[in-house]
Structure 1
């Protein structure tokens, strides 16, 4: 067994599908079996947060790719992300596997310039500080020679089946249903988005990379930066539907947050939307080359998959 993918959500499924298409042996691990898996992909149950059975489920894997998504709660992030990371690193140390984290950008906290991999880690905010702690854990494990580790970091992602993506769930899907996009935060600042298959492709490139490319973080390349409104307009154009966009007023969003937990949980992350939010992926491009999927292609795929699933 070469690679185990922990979690089979949007990103985990894309990694699994791409590895399977390459003919690579792959096993998916999570608490319960996914509804479906590509032909030839194995499944083994384990509770990575609770720490039950993870090393046993990994077997003789060469690499553990962690694509887990936890409930979007500051309390859960603080409690479970460090626990999950320690359990993964402990399991890798026991089995001799490498650890690759499919990561986001929360650990940088608010910034006013494009994000680079060498920015200092955030100390404030439940979600940024939790992800910063995870970063310190895998970096320390790698530096100590305990577990060869690295992280591949993506911006807010979109792609087929990405129902946790605000751009997809609250934007594109609503436009396709003849409704206005209903966005929680401003849509007119430049904002980088990562296409899920590009995220998976970058992860697989690191799997094949030499040891010298580990022990560090890498930013996934993105298509040239657009505003969220521009992407919604492009999606409407591709789909042949009217463009209508509403942005929730701050007071209304905070009021609704009393009754809709996700809105209150998003509040500490609004720095991503109040200013341009851009990612510098030049380090990855200089080392590995390649290009990101153009938005026109990615959005067309999202729309086609949504319409097929709705038919």
Structure 2
């Protein structure tokens, strides 16, 4: 039986990776800081071993990665902690990968690409203009220079079951409480989102493909969707009839006066004004058909998961 560890297993993509690996017959270790959350998510699944720990502590990472063939890194931390936190975590992960002779699969976002005007291929020049984009590029270079088998997989914004730290979850949580709700960005702008189970399927397929290593891969969503289209799907699924307000950069900037997280979010608002779209042509040419769950089906699944969690 193949074995893997998912670092950041309690997050949206981490949860999806654990479930996809289990469905493919892997023995999986789920690693995150919050033991209670890990037990809630995976305590009922016999193929999953739960191991809480802190990825900023080298021995915690080395211990959980011991004798693992595949190490999936999907850890995210709050924006204010990125400058120091992410490089330390990556250093620890790389050390564990080297010690075990394992394969590293990094679930990355699109920040390192910076501003782009056409669907982005893996060959696109990365010239990030934001602090967080530069940090993501720094992490990518650390991996590429480490002389290890790696995959760097770029995803757009997440949505899906247990993907809680996302724009879509923010809006859905208000709607399911039948409150007036907010949508981050212009409602008439088409943007791209990845349904986390689709992203996990693509990531595990790449992990099982030997010739895919030491490369970057873009995994796009199921086309684009405007805020109006998203709200329409949600209204049909829930019967919600209240107003949805668009929250734009000016409001986030104002909130940033009082809140550090909002202050750190301002520079990323360019993605809600001129979205970066990914090209999946390399994956489809070299691996196969991309998993593309229609937005209506994926959003209904996310709503269903949120309702179960709240009960």
RMSD: 1.9
1:307 aligns with 2:307: yes
Q: Distance in 1 between matches of 2:61 and 2:275?
A: 40
Cα deviation per residue 1:103-158 (whole Å; 9 max; x = unaligned)? Answer: 111111122222222222235322100000011111122xxxx3101112210011
Cα deviation per residue 1:190-220 (whole Å; 9 max; x = unaligned)? Answer: 100000111111111112112x211111122
Give the Å deviation of 1:47: 2.8
Q: Distance in 1 between matches of 2:39 and 2:244?
A: 34
Instruction: Judge conservation of contact 1:81–1:134 (CA < 8 Å) in 2.
Output: yes
1:35 aligns with 2:39: yes
Q: Which TM-score applies when normalising by structure 1?
A: 0.91
Give the Å deviation of 1:179: 2.5
Give the Å deviation of 1:302: 1.4
- For residue 53 of structure 1, give the secondary structure of its aligned residue in structure 2: helix
Aligned counterpart, 2:204: 204
Instruction: Judge conservation of contact 1:183–1:248 (CA < 8 Å) in 2.
Output: yes
Q: Distance in 2 between matches of 1:253 and 1:6?
A: 30
Aligned counterpart, 2:271: 272
Q: Which residue, out of 122, 129, 138, partners 1:133?
A: 138
Q: Distance in 2 between matches of 1:53 and 1:184?
A: 36
Aligned counterpart, 2:226: 227
Q: Distance in 2 between matches of 1:43 and 1:175?
A: 32
Counting only pairs closer than 5 Å after superposition, residues 165-180 of structure 1 correspond to structure 2 as: 165-169=166-170, 171-180=171-180
Give the Å deviation of 1:307: 2.5
Provide closer, same or farther for how the CA distance between residues 277 and 229 of structure 1 changes in structure 2, counting only shifts above 3 A.
Answer: farther
Instruction: Judge conservation of contact 2:61–2:93 (CA < 8 Å) in 1.
Output: yes
Counting only pairs closer than 5 Å after superposition, residues 52-67 of structure 1 correspond to structure 2 as: 52-67=59-74
- For residue 302 of structure 2, give the secondary structure of its aligned residue in structure 1: helix
Aligned counterpart, 1:104: 109
Give the Å deviation of 1:21: 2.5
Aligned counterpart, 1:78: 83
Instruction: Judge conservation of contact 2:195–2:293 (CA < 8 Å) in 1.
Output: yes
Instruction: Judge conservation of contact 1:189–1:228 (CA < 8 Å) in 2.
Output: yes
Cα deviation per residue 1:203-262 (whole Å; 9 max; x = unaligned)? Answer: 11112112x211111122311212122112212122222262212354443222111322
Q: Distance in 2 between matches of 1:30 and 1:172?
A: 25
Q: Which TM-score applies when normalising by structure 2?
A: 0.91
Give the Å deviation of 1:164: 0.8
Q: Distance in 2 between matches of 1:5 and 1:137?
A: 19
Aligned counterpart, 2:28: 26
- For residue 86 of structure 2, give the secondary structure of its aligned residue in structure 1: helix
Q: Distance in 2 between matches of 1:40 and 1:250?
A: 44
Q: Distance in 1 between matches of 2:59 and 2:66?
A: 14
Provide closer, same or farther for how the CA distance between residues 248 and 52 of structure 1 changes in structure 2, counting only shifts above 3 A.
Answer: same
Give the Å deviation of 1:180: 3.1
Provide closer, same or farther for how the CA distance between residues 191 and 44 of structure 1 changes in structure 2, counting only shifts above 3 A.
Answer: same
Aligned counterpart, 1:151: 152
Aligned residues: 303
Aligned counterpart, 2:246: 247
Q: Distance in 2 between matches of 1:299 and 1:89?
A: 35
Q: Distance in 1 between matches of 2:54 and 2:159?
A: 27
Q: Distance in 1 between matches of 2:241 and 2:108?
A: 35
